[in-house]
Amino acid sequence: MMRVITVKKPGGAEQLQLSEREKPKLNSGELLIKVEAAAINRTDIINRQSSSGYLNLDVLGIEVAGIVEESGSDTAIEPGTKVMGLVNGGGYAEYAVMPADRAMIIPDNLSFEEAAAIPEVYLTAYQTLFWLGELQEKETVLIHAGGSGVGTAAIQLARQLADAHIITTAGSSEKLDFCKSLGADHTINYKLQEFDKEVLAVTDGQGAAVILDFIGASYYRKNLNSIQMDGRWILIGLLGGAQLENVNLMEMMSKRIQWKGTLLTPRSDQYKEKLTADFAGRALPLFKQGRLKPVIDKVFPMEEVQEAHRRMESNQNIGKIILKMD
């Protein structure tokens, strides 16, 4: 048996509980991992709240870092190897199963907590900036929610891999200062400033070539004002609502906007394998060199998972919230 976190019934953080489950069975091509740390993601909160989540498993959690305990047939990774990566649910647990082609070897200079802070947000930031956003060297990118997990990863990747012109929004000067320290060129406090006016001001009226939009409806008009001709607008979250009442398609055509909706978690195993391989090749050396740094907000012991969820839901965090197994 092993200790895990489950949901009593769909609802608030109070529904999270410590339970016991059988250790998962290993299939061909999989690794059984002794989990040292897992990270909290918004998708976990959505799954906690809804009875129709992504998962078949009743254990939350989509990313872990730990030590390979057992390797299935057809895997090249030996027991004892320290790995991090995405799992198909079941991450808030002492043991988790991971498709081996999704495991990334943890650079020596990183702790398990730091490693658990990498997969979801860096893969998402990498996918949205480069695969979907097609961000080119020196282009301007507008990264909303700059203090979030994906935001902090995106700022670093845009800086280190594309030397981009980076504009970021956040809701406190503490978060904005931190974004600058990660490599943002311009920061905008969305509570005090009209972000579209600022974006146009610092781009000579051109706007941003790529927008990472975690907000949706409430930012629609300002994002439209902020995007440049042929811009790629990646919709990856709906913190500001989903419902738009007034869309003029001529604006989309005349600016030749590419508007792309995406979610990482429900994508296929093949997609995640390909993304992991591409990301690992380009980014892992930069973690080793210290040019990319996982951003940890706070580490909670497994027993305090309710606190961990509440912290994310109140948007207090800068970077990732981590669950430490013991």
In whole angstroms, what separates CA 115 from the centre of its chain?
Answer: 13
Give CA–CA dist 214/64, Å, rounded: 23
| Choice between 202 and 239, CB closer to its own copies | 239
Tally of residues, the chain: 326
Q: Site for its own copies (CB under 8 A): how many residues?
A: 29
Minimum CB–partner distance for residue 84 and its own copies (Å): 25
| Choice between 38 and 132, CB closer to its own copies | 132
50 three-state secondary structure: coil
Torsion on CA atoms 124, 126, 131, 135, rounded to nearest 10: 130
Angle between helices 149-162 and 269-288 (to 10 degrees): 70
| Choice between 206 and 262, CB closer to its own copies | 262
Using CB under 8 A as the binding rule, whether residue 242 contacts its own copies is answered as yes
Using CB under 8 A as the binding rule, whether residue 263 contacts its own copies is answered as yes
Angle between helices 42-49 and 305-313 (to 10 degrees): 110
Using CB under 8 A as the binding rule, whether residue 262 contacts its own copies is answered as yes
Minimum CB–partner distance for residue 97 and its own copies (Å): 25
Minimum CB–partner distance for residue 218 and its own copies (Å): 11
Using CB under 8 A as the binding rule, whether residue 249 contacts its own copies is answered as yes
Using CB under 8 A as the binding rule, whether residue 53 contacts its own copies is answered as no
| Residue 239 CB burial class (10 angstroms; 0-12, 13-18, ≥19) | middle
Q: Please report, as residue ranges, which positions from 109 to 138 form the binding site for its own copies (by CB under 8 A).
A: 132
| Choice between 140 and 223, CB closer to its own copies | 223
Using CB under 8 A as the binding rule, whether residue 246 contacts its own copies is answered as yes
> Which DSSP state fits 132?
I
| Half-sphere exposure at residue 29, Cβ-oriented, CA atoms within 13 angstroms | 6
- The distance in angstroms from the start CA to the end CA of the chain is 15
| Choice between 53 and 319, CB closer to its own copies | 53
Using CB under 8 A as the binding rule, whether residue 150 contacts its own copies is answered as no
- Paired tokens of 143: 């990264």
User: Which residues in 253-271 are b (16+ Cβ under 10 Å) and which e?
Assistant: eebebbebeeebbeeeeee
| Choice between 259 and 300, CB closer to its own copies | 259
Using CB under 8 A as the binding rule, whether residue 51 contacts its own copies is answered as no
- Paired tokens of 12: 């608030």
Interface with its own copies (CB under 8 A), residue from 2, 77, 202, 252:
252
Give CA–CA dist 308/220, Å, rounded: 30
Using CB under 8 A as the binding rule, whether residue 254 contacts its own copies is answered as yes
Please say whether the beta carbons of 28 and 97 come within 8 A. Answer: no
| Choice between 56 and 73, CB closer to its own copies | 56
Using CB under 8 A as the binding rule, whether residue 243 contacts its own copies is answered as yes
* Residues at the contact surface with its own copies, assessed by CB under 8 A: 132, 216-217, 235-236, 238, 242-250, 252-263, 266-267
